[in-house]
Structure 1
Amino acid sequence: MNIVIIGAGISGLLSALELAEQGCQVNIYNQTYAGQASWAGGGILSPMYPWRYPRAVNLLAQHGKALYQTWNEKLQPVTGIDFEIHETGMLILDETDFEVGLNYKTQFQDPMQHCEYLQREQLDQVNPHLSEQFQHAIYFPEIANVRNPRLLQSLRNYLEQHPKVQFFDQMPIQKFHIQQDKIEYVETETGQKVYADQFVVTTGAWSGLWSAQLGLELPVRPVQGQMALIKTPAHWLPTMCMNRVMYLIPRMDGHIICGSSMQECGFNAETSDQIQQNILEAAYEMVPELAQFPVVQNWAGLRPSSPEGIPYIGQLPHLHNVWINLGHFRNGLCMGPASAQLLRQLILKQPTSVDSTIYSPEQLLKLEVMTS
């Protein structure tokens, strides 16, 4: 089977990996904006405050850590890149979430979401750098983070060496040519026609721009998130921390990601001084000692927002050879492996690992057939 994947962020690369490993010929067309969410995210392998998300999000996210561990073991000997699944655990400091968080672990029965209530003496043992203002927290020892820029490098490197994969980096797809109930071919911006058996759209925050061509409304829009990066000594901060939707994510080499903001400003990916100041103030509130260390970088990314944060995974209802894997909002990295696995199972007509109907475009999209 010959498959064209449009978009080379985390969803596109993982989808390509799943399909190529099953023997499909995969051609990846790297749009000019590739990776603006995948590279920019924090890489927490769990939804933040999972009880605030629909069950459909958590059903995919719960597989992220184990699937990444499996892929890292397979890819690292080939690529020489360890994308660092860092098992730090996470402290949630929001007192209003303690009770619901502790109840959630019992209801959901997911080992990843096991948590414990800690008072100050225990907190000092888990994370001695935490501000004295926090006298208790709930602790999730199983939650890890992945170093997503290295993850993307590893996936890309592995796929470039794969005999079933070819990248087209300077040929972004611009048009879909539809004949009756299928895409006959897609066209690059230089006018080249590209044929395939199946077409997969994984274009993240830009996916809504295809709505008119595909004849339905894809309710995916960009939501900007800004981050800052602080450099501390290696292994300085022992856990991830979260308070009021702001987080600290330690990497093994001492870099600490501080984030993140949420702003609807179209496709603007520029940082602002005020938002950066707000991020750092939140970081210093959680861990005051961070103010002693340098801020080495800041950036913004564009999340692919969907109405409830539930991704659309599956075949478009009116086009028999078009599939989508998009709309993951804030959880594309943790849902990514299971989303790609589900897409592969659907395309190849294999038994599915989760109930696919809750992600079905036909179920989630309000079909609006457009007339020319």
Structure 2
Amino acid sequence: MHIAIIGAGVSGLLSALELIEQGCTVTLFDQQHAGQAASWAGGGILSPMYPWRYPREVNHLAQYGKQLYQDWNKKLLPQTGIDFEIHETGMLIFDEADFEIGLNYKDQYQEPMQHCEYLSREKLKQVNPQISEQFQHAIYFPQLANVRNPRLLKSLVSYLKQHPLVEIRENTWIEKFNIQNQKIQSVQTTNGQHFSADHFVIATGAWSNCWSEQLQVSIPVEPVQGQMMLFKSPENWLPTMCMNNVMYLIPRTDGHIVCGSSMNHLGFDHRPSITVQQNIYKACVEMVPELANFPIVKQWAGLRPSSPTGIPYIGKMPELNNLWANFGHYRNGLCMGPASARLLRQLILKQETLVDAKAYSTQRLKLSEGAGVIL
């Protein structure tokens, strides 16, 4: 079976990985370079931030993220020489309004990754001595980890480019689907080339709405800019991830600390803003004052694929027999990515699914008036 995947971010790359493991051949198309855009720009926390603020369907997929990344890293590392750097730091959350609900969430759902405990100031200093004196307590999630997403993406791209069942076509913009008898016969690029396959997958992240008009279906996905900055501290200087007022610090194994993040509706503008940078800097130094002593080595912004509830669309597209969706992950594409890709593979190949697929169905998408007439 030959499957064409449009979009080579983390969703497209992991979908390809799942499918070739089952013997499928895959062609990946990306409008720029594989493994870039929001997938590269994100922080890589392997859990939704404040999981109790998200629908259960988001957490159902996210709970598989850490283990599946560990499994894939073990398989790919000998071939690529690139470690995902899954860093098991745990996380401190300082938002007092979330303490009770966070502790209750842990008791209610019994998910190992979401186990947390209340820390007084004395215990907080033992867990992370760099925290500001203004924080007298926290809730602590010892099992939370982060993945170094640029390295994850490099490893995925490297592995797939070496694989005999995979072709990656970068700098290739798919302009339209050629539809006949409720099937995609081929896709057409901007320079007029046609590519056929047995099945087609839309994994185009923040750009997914661009298919709405041709497919006669409303795809409510739009870009939301998130901005980040990167400090360089000594190795192992910051022992845990930290979160307060939706701002986070994510330590990498080599002492880099990723700080973010903002949310701005600016269309497809991904230029960093000085004002947002100042807000992020202030929030992060408020949590860890000593950060002010270390250099900022980089700042950037990415475009998240926002969707109405943050529950992604995974499954067969309406009215078409061989077009599939894997998009709309909003802020949790990296942690939901492995399970989303597995679910997609299971649906395409008609296998038993790891979660109830109905919750992610594209039947939630609204058909445009007159849809189905030309399909």
* Secondary structure of 2:12 counterpart: helix
Structure 2: which amino acid aligns with 1:50?
P
- The aligned residue for residue 196 of structure 2 is 195
- The aligned residue for residue 24 of structure 2 is 24
* Secondary structure of 1:37 counterpart: helix
Question: Residue deviations 1:295-337, cap 9 Å, x none?
Answer: 1100000000000000000001201000010000000000000
Question: Residue deviations 1:225-279, cap 9 Å, x none?
Answer: 0000000001110000000000000000000011000000100000110000000
For structure 1, list consecutive stretches of 5 or more residues without a partner in the other structure. none
Aligned positions of 1:32-111 closer than 5 A: 32=32, 35-111=36-112
Structure 2: which amino acid aligns with 1:163?
P
* Secondary structure of 1:186 counterpart: strand
What CA distance in whole angstroms lies between the structure 2 residues aligned with 1:69 and 1:187?
37
Aligned positions of 1:273-312 closer than 5 A: 273-312=274-313
Structure 2: which amino acid aligns with 1:10?
V
* Secondary structure of 1:5 counterpart: strand
Q: 1:361 to 1:33 in 2, by over 3 A?
A: farther
Task: Give 1:365 shift.
Answer: 1.2
Task: Give 1:20 shift.
Answer: 0.7
What CA distance in whole angstroms lies between the structure 1 residues aligned with 2:89 and 2:75?
23
Task: Give 1:33 shift.
Answer: 7.0
Question: Residue deviations 1:81-133, cap 9 Å, x none?
Answer: 00100000000000000000000001111000000000011001100000000
What CA distance in whole angstroms lies between the structure 1 residues aligned with 2:339 and 2:50?
19
Aligned length: 371
Task: Give 1:171 shift.
Answer: 2.4
What CA distance in whole angstroms lies between the structure 1 residues aligned with 2:170 and 2:308?
31
Structure 2: which amino acid aligns with 1:53?
Y
Moved over 3 A (4+): 369-372
1:3 aligns with 2:3: yes
What CA distance in whole angstroms lies between the structure 1 residues aligned with 2:335 and 2:88?
14
What CA distance in whole angstroms lies between the structure 1 residues aligned with 2:365 and 2:164?
36
TM-score scaled by length of structure 1? 0.98
- The aligned residue for residue 176 of structure 2 is 175
What CA distance in whole angstroms lies between the structure 2 residues aligned with 1:251 and 1:23?
35
Deviates more, 1:156-165 or 1:60-69: 156-165
What CA distance in whole angstroms lies between the structure 1 residues aligned with 2:280 and 2:172?
37
Task: Give 1:36 shift.
Answer: 1.1
Structure 2: which amino acid aligns with 1:18?
E
Structure 2: which amino acid aligns with 1:112?
M
Structure 1: which amino acid aligns with 2:127?
V
- The aligned residue for residue 240 of structure 1 is 241
What CA distance in whole angstroms lies between the structure 2 residues aligned with 1:129 and 1:293?
13
Say if 2:218 and 2:367, in contact at 8 Å, map to a contact too: yes
* Secondary structure of 1:159 counterpart: helix
Structure 2: which amino acid aligns with 1:32?
Q
What CA distance in whole angstroms lies between the structure 2 residues aligned with 1:91 and 1:155?
30
* Secondary structure of 1:303 counterpart: strand
Task: Give 1:30 shift.
Answer: 1.4
- The aligned residue for residue 256 of structure 1 is 257
- The aligned residue for residue 266 of structure 1 is 267
What CA distance in whole angstroms lies between the structure 1 residues aligned with 2:171 and 2:358?
36
What CA distance in whole angstroms lies between the structure 2 residues aligned with 1:193 and 1:82?
36
* Secondary structure of 1:185 counterpart: strand
- The aligned residue for residue 333 of structure 1 is 334
Aligned positions of 1:91-240 closer than 5 A: 91-240=92-241
For structure 2, list consecutive stretches of 5 or more residues without a partner in the other structure. none
* Secondary structure of 1:331 counterpart: helix
